[in-house]
Each structure stands twice: as structure tokens, then as C-alpha cells.
Amino acid sequence: AQKITQTQPGMFVQEKEAVTLDCTYDTSDQSYGLFWYKQPSSGEMIFLIYQGSYDEQNATEGRYSLNFQKARKSANLVISASQLGDSAMYFCATSNAGKSTFGDGTTLTVKP
Amino acid sequence: EPEVTQTPSHQVTQMGQEVILRCVPISNHLYFYWYRQILGQKVEFLVSFYNNEISEKSEIFDDQFSVERPDGSNFTLKIRSTKLEDSAMYFCASSVRKINTDTQYFGPGTRLTVL
């Protein structure tokens, strides 16, 4: 079974600063994917970034980067230069063999 | 940019009624998924579907749930006899390949309210 732990129920960050959202996972699978999704108050799930378990380089997508530490089983999301529009719930997820497991989420609030 | 679509956006039904939630995955995607999110809680996997059959399902996906790809574009989730606890947002998603190696894209969701 897979398990995702997001230990920060809520985070605050000042506009234009960087923020790290924590995610640790537990899986016995050798091949898996790690994902981060953003869910604004409107409710949709927006894909942000993907990291494959065999990828040696950390994934980056614009202002988003994933700090992947395989030995520690962590996949933290780093958002650089925070914007007011980044205020949302953020979910970390892992996937294998057609099934995804999500964490409880972190609510990020960006302060002006 | 291609996207997953879902209809209706909001469905209200009486307890015990059957509902069908509809999804149109991205056209070149081969893997399809349903998730649910009870208000204020995390997203929960229900089922994945590939090559016209279920690949994986969770313990939530019991006999009252079924999925179907009735034609080349639609992917449906049926709940046979709705319960109050089925009230949730239901998300459809799709991916080109298996999601341990590929990104899945979510639709906007259908909010199901069971009265």
C-alpha cells in the first residue's frame, strides 16, 4: 500500500518569497510517480509537476520545482517568487500501476 | 489545449436514486480514472480503466459503483443506489500511459449532492 504524508496543514508566505511544501511517501514499489496538484477555492485540480522514481534530476516547471530525495522518500514542492494567485490547497500524490494515493493537502496562503 | 470535460457540473439526487456521471477524456489518452473528494477532505482513488476493463479499484468502489466506456469518447461512472455519504466532488482523469510514468489530467469535477 502507498501512503502520502503532508505534515503542514497550513502555510503562510510573503508575496515574492519562496516556499517549500513538504511531502513524504511510503511505498514498496520500485517504479512510481510523484505528483503535485493545486486546488484553488473553485475546486478544480490543476497538475503542477511530475517526478518519476527513476528520474535522477529534480523536476522543474516554471516557478515550481520538486526536491526529490529518494532515499528519504521525500518529494517537497518549492514555489519560487510566490504570487497572490498561488493561494490554494496543494496535494502531493504518488501513483503506481493505475492507482493514485493523495495526501491530506497543505493550504497555502500568500500574504501581500 | 485539450482538456478533460465532465457533465453535469452539479447533480442533485434523492437517496436511493441512480446517477450517471459523464466524462470525456482527452482524445489520445488510454487510461481513465475516477476519484472522489468529500468536502474538506483529500482526494480518494476509486477506479482506473484501461482497454475496456477495470485495472485497479479501491475498497470504496463496491458493487453499487460501475464504470463504462459506452462509445469512443465517453467514460461514465454509475452509482446504482445513492447514499447520503456519496455526496462529494467526483473527478474524472485521463493519461496517455500508466500513471507511474505519466501525468494524469483532471476534469473540472461533478459535485454530487444526495438528499
The verdict on a CB contact (< 8 Å) between B48 and A91 is no
pLDDT at res. B68: 94
Mean pLDDT of A81-107: 91
CA-based nearest distance A11→chain B, Å? 17
**pLDDT attached to residue A107:** 97
pLDDT at B100 over 70: no
- Tens-digit pLDDT profile for residues B33-82: 999 999 988 899 999 999 889 988 999 999 999 999 988 789 999 999 99
φ, ψ for residue B84, nearest 5 deg: -55, -40
Task: Give the C-alpha separation, A54 to B24, whole Å.
Answer: 31
Q: What is the mean pLDDT of chain A?
A: 93
User: Which chain A residues are within 8 Å of B41, Cβ to Cβ?
Assistant: 104
Phi, psi of A86 (to 5 degrees): -80, -10
**Res B101: pLDDT:** 62
Type of residue found at B58: S
- In this structure, the strands spanning A10-14 and A106-111 are parallel
Q: Is B30 on the interface with A (CB under 8 A)?
A: no
Query: Within 13 Å, how many C-alpha atoms sit on residue A51's CB side?
Result: 26
Q: What is the pLDDT of residues A17-42, one digit of tens each?
A: 999 999 999 988 888 889 999 999 98
Confidence of residue A63 (pLDDT cuts 50, 70, 90): very high
Least trusted range by pLDDT, from B28-32, B46-50, B51-55, B101-105: B101-105
Instruction: Average the pLDDT over each of A36-45, A92-101, B1-10, B76-85 and give the range with the smallest value.
Output: A92-101
Is there a contact between B69 and B77 (Cβ–Cβ < 8 Å)? no
The shortest CB-CB distance from B45 to any of A33, A35, A99 is to A99
Bridge partners of A28?
none
Quick check: B9 contacting A, CB < 8 Å? no
pLDDT at res. B85: 95
The predicted model gives B17-44 an average pLDDT of 93
Q: How does strand B10-13 pair with strand B110-114? A: parallel
The overall average pLDDT reported for chain B is 92
Judged by CB atoms closer than 8 Å, whether chains meet at B42 and A91 is answered as yes
User: What average pLDDT score do residues B7-20 get?
Assistant: 97
Read off the C-alpha cell for A81: 517568487
Kindly report each contact of residues A24-31 with a partner whose C-beta sits within 8 Å and lies 24 or more positions away, as own/partner. Answer: A24/A72, A24/A73, A24/A74, A24/A75, A25/A73, A25/A74, A25/A75, A25/A92, A25/A94, A26/A2, A26/A73, A27/A2, A27/A3, A27/A73, A27/A94, A27/A96, A29/A2, A29/A53, A29/A96, A29/A97, A29/B100, A31/A96, A31/B100, A31/B101
User: For B108, which of A44, A52, A100 is closest by C-beta distance?
Assistant: A44
